[in-house]
């Protein structure tokens, strides 16, 4: 009867997220203050008041989403809940791995905020604006998408001997794959996927080609940044995006976080792994309900629930049997 806590990634952000938690629980408000202090700016004001276009910037959205997730965790803990002994695994979608690891004690909240700011800036700076792209491919088998990426990497290159980068970045489940790489190759791959029978091939409004080989400069920056922070074994094992296996070893986790910058987010396989290893309930901790929706499409036998508001904190505590009067 295992329980998994999962933490959302970029795209789940919304102006006003976490305000209810901060207004209800002093412990949640302290998380936002801690993140503000770590970054040396009033990120909380941006999270709660916008503007949306500034909050959506990668360097802001990443620490902001982590702050909301940790605000929910602190609200649970303030009422007597502990991950240790109650939660079997944690996982996060892309940046959500940092939220999961901060919740489980791998790094401090302040270090997680600083790491995500570094990560966001590094990913943004890795490729000149306009040169990279991402596209969502709906309703096409993975093998066909991979074939389209390989064909486009060659077909869009000015020199056939110098193939462009084009690869699957996210396997989100429910028939949704995201491809990433050099813009000409991604645009061609999207057209090829349509020709192969995809229901939709939608170019995404993103600022960089995340989770592709073009992110190598960002991966090296994260390698140095992770080496510089204090790390501890998490109290709950992390199921990694890139390997879909659990680990509590700090050095291995750091290596996987570096690999994750250029590697595929294997979310479908993660949820399938949960189902094969006794997980009966998946909680999405933080902003939005994206991961809950994906999980329902991947494995309907796993119950899903969200913890992103004060009311949801109370419902989760009651369901988990740890409500403290």
93 a catalytic residue:
no
Q: Which helix (H) or strand (E) element contains residue 193?
A: helix 183-195
Question: Do the Cβ atoms of 199 and 138 come closer than 8 Å?
Answer: yes
DSSP-derived secondary structure for 22-66:
HHH-HHHHHHHHHHHHHHTS-HHHHHHH--HHHHTSHHHHHHHHH
Active-site hit among 12, 211, 240, 306: 211
Q: Give catalytic status of residue 211 as yes or no.
A: yes
Q: How many CA atoms lie within 13 A of 281 on its CB side?
A: 13
Candidate list 28, 44, 94, 99, residue with the active-site label: 94
CB contact at 8 A, 83 and 32: no
Residue 58 exposure: Cα atoms within 13 Å on the Cβ side:
18
Task: Write the burial class of residue 52 (CB in 10 Å: 0-12 exposed, 13-18 middle, 19+ buried).
Answer: exposed
Residues involved in catalysis: 94, 211
């Amino acid at each position: 009867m295992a329980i998994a806590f999962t933490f959302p990634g970029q795209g789940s952000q919304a102006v006003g997220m976490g305000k209810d938690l901060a207004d209800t629980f002093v412990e949640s408000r302290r998380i936002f203050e801690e993140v503000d202090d770590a970054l040396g700016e009033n990120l909380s004001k941006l999270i709660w008041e916008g503007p949306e276009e500034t909050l959506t910037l990668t360097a802001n959205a990443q620490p902001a989403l982590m702050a909301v997730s940790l605000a929910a965790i602190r609200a649970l803990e303030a009422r007597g809940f502990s991950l240790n002994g109650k939660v079997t695994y944690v996982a996060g979608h892309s940046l959500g791995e940092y939220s999961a690891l901060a919740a489980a004690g791998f790094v401090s909240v302040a270090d997680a905020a600083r790491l995500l700011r570094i990560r966001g800036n590094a990913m943004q700076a890795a490729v000149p604006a306009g040169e990279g792209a991402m596209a969502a491919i709906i309703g096409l088998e993975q093998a066909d998408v991979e074939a389209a990426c390989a064909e486009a990497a060659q077909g869009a290159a000015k020199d056939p001997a110098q193939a462009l980068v084009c690869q699957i970045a996210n396997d989100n489940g429910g028939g949704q794959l995201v491809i990433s790489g050099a813009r000409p190759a991604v645009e061609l791959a999207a057209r090829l996927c349509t020709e192969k029978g995809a229901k939709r091939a939608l170019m995404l409004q993103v600022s960089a080609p995340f989770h592709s080989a073009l992110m190598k400069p960002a991966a090296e920056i994260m390698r140095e940044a992770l080496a510089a922070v204090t790390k501890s074994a998490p109290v709950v094992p992390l199921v990694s995006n890139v390997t879909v296996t659990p680990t509590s070893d700090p050095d291995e986790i750091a290596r996987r976080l570096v690999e994750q910058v250029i590697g595929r987010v294997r979310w479908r396989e993660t949820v399938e792994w949960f189902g094969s290893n006794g997980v009966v309930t998946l909680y999405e901790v933080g902003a939005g309900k994206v991961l809950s929706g994906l999980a329902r499409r991947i494995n309907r036998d796993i119950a899903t629930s969200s913890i992103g508001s004060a009311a949801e904190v109370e419902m989760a505590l009651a369901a988990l049997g740890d409500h403290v009067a």
